[in-house]
Structure 1
Amino acid sequence: MNITPINCFQEGIQFATTGKIWKIITDSSMPVIIVQTRDGDAYQTAFTAINIQSQTTLWQDFTLEESWWVGMSLLSQGILLLHTYPDTQKPQPQGLIALEIASREVLWQTEELHFYEVIDNQIVVTSSTTSSNSYLTIDIKTGNVLERFQELPTGLTRKNENKSMIFPFHYQDEMAYFQTVAVFLKKKFNLQIVQAVDYLEYDNFIIISYFYDNAGDLMNNLLVLDQNGQVLFHQNIEKQLTGIGLDTFFVFKNELFFVKHKTLLQSLKL
């Protein structure tokens, strides 16, 4: 397979870690991403804050007292909301811990409130002390309850917490769009893709993350084309996979982000 790219992109961040990169979230109001890593040998979950504009690490490998059963709910207004998993037999996110990015200080925490969603830019939570049909909105800086609803008001627009991140369409091999992309890659580059493909048209770019078989090993490559089909970038990002993944890349603030071999986060300025 010989696809020679122009490599015309300016490189953005490069963040390498010893643990596996587990999750990445962003804040639409600022050029900051938070990277969650997990080290299965040490049973440790850590968090790193990166300013993608200055390409600097604000802080790295931050851990809580509970260093394994913890995850990220939301990043908003410079505050990271974390959740824990009190019942390890039923890993359901519970509780909230508000961490200020600038100071790395815990502003507040509670075991009673559980993150639900961002709706019309309001942070909606549920409470373990009230009815399961009861919803509350909170002030992210203080944790104070602002409003209570028995049911969510009609007309509110539910949004994914990562709405500032642009993810590709994921097409599995039984879908018509998979076949369309597969035929295109076969005709243009003689590529034989398998199982699934991630596809995104962004600005003047076509971004494709495809899977293929290499002597029995499942591989994953990232390909970026311009609208004329010229190859701008082409690299392997994962080898010897046991299965396919979702969201193998995303775009945030005109940068393409992807993880290579589970331990290296890179970006390209589009």
Structure 2
Amino acid sequence: MWRMRLDAATGLMALEVRDADLLLADFYSLETGPFTLSKLPLPAAKNWWLGLEDVHQGLLLLHGYGDRQTGQHKGIMAYSSQNGNLQWQQPELAFYGVTADGILALDLQDQKLTLLHPQTGTILPENMSLEGGANAVAAYNLTRSQACTYPMLYLAGELYFTQVQDFLRDKLSAAAVAGIEYAETEQHIVVSFYTETAAGKLDNMLCVFDLHGELQLQQRIAHGLSGIGSDTFIIFNHNLYFIQQRTILVVYSLS
């Protein structure tokens, strides 16, 4: 699992799953009410050079790359979650964020923001500074994310990584490496972490503790990885979502 994004207003989740060894990437939409999972019908050979930005109003927003060496994002492609069709694209702009008024895109040449209509991708006549755009995206994120919790990613060497690493060593005798994702709810602590295998690969483990530190759930969700991912889980409406071994969608109730 590389990335999860959620449109809490519609209950639609977007998933990006990548395999670094095979250079494969797949994109899915999940209707969290009936738990209906759909895969975008994109050519597998080209998917590696696409990535998930966000999901909004029934559309999965993907990006391409302007510079594959630096990983600079360029291009916005909006795919329908209903039929998988490309609804619109802006190949020369880069995704900046979602606001209450539309989708903000960045002109990479003049570093100016452009507001796009979310359903058509057409440019709307509104100018916004970079500071104003950042504030608009942050304000909208507060509204749209009230019902969901994304984990915080802590990398090896950071203070919070060390603190959670010590917690895992104490509770599980586990030696977490590389990166840890951490989230808290009113009743639970959820941790996704990596351990090194004898072959030098990484296993991704997911654990749920109560607030007293007692283990409630422990699962290996990926084996033999070449690197770490992000957003390996998400919590929405008191449910814990994650993908196990790239093929199984798992949902646990945390209520």
TM-score by length of 2: 0.75
Q: 1:139 aligns with which of 105, 117, 120?
A: 117
Deviates more, 1:172-181 or 1:22-31: 172-181
Matched position secondary structure for 1:157: helix
Matched position secondary structure for 2:95: strand
Aligned equivalent of 2:206: 222
Aligned residues: 247
5+ residue gaps in structure 1?
1-20
* Cα distance in 2 for residues equivalent to 1:46 and 1:173: 28
Instruction: Give 1:24's aligned amino acid.
Output: M
8 A Cα contact 2:239 2:252, kept in partner:
yes
8 A Cα contact 1:70 1:84, kept in partner:
yes
Q: Quote the sequence identity (%).
A: 28
Distance 1:125 1:259, change over 3 A: same
* Cα distance in 1 for residues equivalent to 2:60 and 2:76: 10
Matched position secondary structure for 2:125: strand
Distance 1:133 1:48, change over 3 A: closer
Distance 1:50 1:242, change over 3 A: closer
Report which of the two structures shows the higher radius of gyration computed on alpha carbons: 1
8 A Cα contact 2:4 2:232, kept in partner:
no
* Cα distance in 2 for residues equivalent to 1:66 and 1:207: 35
* Cα distance in 2 for residues equivalent to 1:44 and 1:195: 22
Query: CA RMSD of the aligned region, Å?
Result: 3.6
Instruction: Give 1:180's aligned amino acid.
Output: Q
Q: 1:203 aligns with which of 163, 181, 186?
A: 186
- More contact order relative to length (CA 8 Å, sep ≥ 6): 1
* Deviation for aligned residue 1:137: 0.9
Matched position secondary structure for 1:180: helix
Per-residue CA distance 1:21-57 (angstroms, 9 max, x = gap): 5443221211222234457899765433221211123
Q: Give the structure with the higher percent helix.
A: 2
Q: 1:169 aligns with which of 152, 164, 171?
A: 152
* Cα distance in 1 for residues equivalent to 2:24 and 2:230: 24
* Cα distance in 2 for residues equivalent to 1:150 and 1:32: 28
* Deviation for aligned residue 1:61: 4.2
TM-score by length of 1: 0.72
Matched position secondary structure for 1:93: strand
Instruction: Give 1:108's aligned amino acid.
Output: W
Matched position secondary structure for 2:110: coil
* Deviation for aligned residue 1:194: 3.9
Distance 1:66 1:149, change over 3 A: farther
